[in-house]
Structure 1
Amino acid sequence: MSAVTSADTGFGAFVRRAHRAGQLVVQPRMGMSAPEQMRAGLRATRDAVGATVGTLTVDSYTRVGELQAAQLAVLDGVALNGYPLVSHQLSITLGVLDAIAGPEFPVQVRHGSADPLDIFRAMTAAGLDASEGGPVSYCLPYGRVPLRESTRHWIRSCDELAGLRASGLEPHLETFGGCMLGQLCPPSELVAISALEAMFFHHHGLRSISASYAQQTNPIQDAEAVRALQRLCAEHLPDTDWHIVIYAYMGVYPASRAGAYALLEAAARLAAHTGCARLIVKTEAESVRIPTVAENVAALEFAAATAAVTPRSVAGHGDSQTYREAAALVAAVMNLDPDPGAAMLRAFQRGYLDIPYCVHPDNRGLSRSYIDDRGYLCWADIGRLPLSGLVDGSGPRTLTSRGLIESLTYVSRKFDAQPDAAPALVRGERA
């Protein structure tokens, strides 16, 4: 069995074909350490109603490079919070994927690592060619690895992955830059970092790329952000097969079943309405525990069904506020250096990129955001961001601890308080 595919049958090609057929590709977050459970999860995802792709999420030991701890857990039969791809024998992983992964059901490896080289090597050895992350987005939120070190690791990893193209394959990478801590970063900077990481992948030889955007606090602002990201990708990714992937809300999730499904419905409608190609779902269990396979399948099928009845907007990609801010950030960063990796390093040093409430040592920490009375994520203080003249900065200059908690729980409270707005499918009982 080999799931490694040519340019016509790889991960990006599968998503492109589904998109052209009018289908939104839906994908779970899924990773189990036991091979038989991981295989069962992939099989259930493949067999769900809708256009689906699989996910193999690695464990946290592997993510941070503690491979000895992951290996000991495998040997001792200790359950982990993901699949220890690097530590399992290759034959075990091939058995997990056998007769499941392939051109009609591609599987993506998700990880969260600032140094993904070992993961990429284990992935390609197992016949998989799709992953995600980025030098910024898999560095700043997750620890204290220096940004310069993360960038160096990602350069080497991308160069090696792109080398597969010489043999006629088409590896795929997805940016994680459209998330950045999950919440409270205004959409323009999410869009800018996602675009910049896509440009970084392109600079290092990848030609099948997806750019991510995580659902935020207002659907109108989110739609504006998605269109801005689409426009920036069209402008900056020549000769590239690219698509946009939406993440269902990455912050504090509603505790009620109805609220969770209503939020997922909004994410599916956002993706379908704006013509995005793929959606990574969340489930009714997100607020309390890791979801079961059955809960993941229910979320996948619900999202696919919602997207199927959502009309696509014919709105143009004009100069919205979000586009103007994001384009200004991208231009200012790329004026620092023609190499996107070097440019992003300098941008963080100067504060041209600065993530609100991020405590990583390489983040200036001068910018601040707030949620206004419309539910928009706005800049309260732009710090040194190159947005003068674009942002009025008239919002609150400080955020109290109570205000921060209220902001972090804004979405969950909003959707939990509206049970009557829950989808009819959820108000009744699923079969």
Structure 2
Amino acid sequence: MMPGYGQERDLSSIVLPRWGRVEASDGVVPWAVVDEAGRVVEPVARFLRDFFACGYGALSVRSYAFDLLRWWRWLRVIGVEWDRATSEDVKDFVLWLQQAAKPRLSPRTGSAFTAGTVNPVTRKAYLDDRYKPRTTRHSNAVLRSFYDFWIDSGGGPLVNPVPLQRARGQRANAHHNPLQPFRAEGRLRYNPKVPKTRPRALPDELWAELFAALGSHRDRAILAIAVSNGARASEILGIRGVDVDWGEQLVRVVRKGSRAQQWLPASPEAFVWLRLYLAEVGGLDAQQTVWWTLRRRDRGEGLHRQPMNYEALRAVFRRVNGLLGTNWSMHDLRHTCSLRMARDENLSLRDVQTILDHKHLSTTADLYMLEEEADVVRRVAAHLEDRKVPPTVEPSMIGGYEAADLEVLFGGRAA
């Protein structure tokens, strides 16, 4: 229930119920949030319909639906209607996310020993069961957008419960010119800070080890394409037969954000592995996906190969990581390609931005125009070695020490 004045909720004791679910829809909007009886949650459905009409993709709709489902479960626990939520409810929700564990359908087995630890080979942390700061920030952005929609529609609360950050003693958006159209600015007040991480490229020896551990020509073709042009997993999995230009050695992908089609180059080795894979599956249909499962499954019409999806690609990495004791992911190949291109003197930063499909050049520069820490340490060590000067105090002038010890300490320069 809503706490009274001066009272605080016991957040550590709150466990969200398994209420409702996100399910695929046959209507115009591809995803919907339904309650325990299978009825569509109408406030969420109207928002997602408007969101989808703004041009966002099906995956974005699905992501927003899951965040709103989690918010609806939270509202049920605290006993507050969605249109009566306040900033205190949002603040408590953010605090709960910072200490709660993600719900799991089944307990961890083999991964229980590595969750939250750092892999000694890749130097990447394994995921644990805690909500990350990026998850909280995304949730806040979704809720802010949801309530903005209902405030504009006149059917929600008078004030958005997800407040903006502002300077002390200053009203929100006080800097705006009243003669200009209003545009909300500023970060959200309860957004946690996200630690900035450096992208890391796979060293050549580790890339060769990863590639050698793959079990099929299909997997080799996918990874070779990914490390050639940095395309995202969803973009590569969407390649059809008509999207392969054998003569120019190009593949066409549909970009994740803009949904624009773009031709990208791939290495000659990638096309060799692609040809070997297609020889195994028996050719290529121009309008069908290039990537198929290796095993045939019976879906009621006999044994047939199924289109490869993201979960099947993750299974490929799980098998390889299990063999190598690593935790590589598909996105590591994008970082590897990006850093290789950024360090190539024959490529400009604009070239790298175009291949990676970054909207702003500053994004490319901030992410990939960085020096490797190992190289920086090596150069600084060489600098210190060059600046090394002999001690200004003669060892013979220092009393209380054995002459042999001083000779070792000062590199044989003791008199």
Q: TM-score, normalised by structure 1?
A: 0.21
Q: TM-score, normalised by structure 2?
A: 0.22
User: Whose RCO is larger (CA < 8 A, sep 6+)?
Assistant: 1
Q: Please identify the structure whose Cα radius of gyration is greater.
A: 2
More strand by share: 1
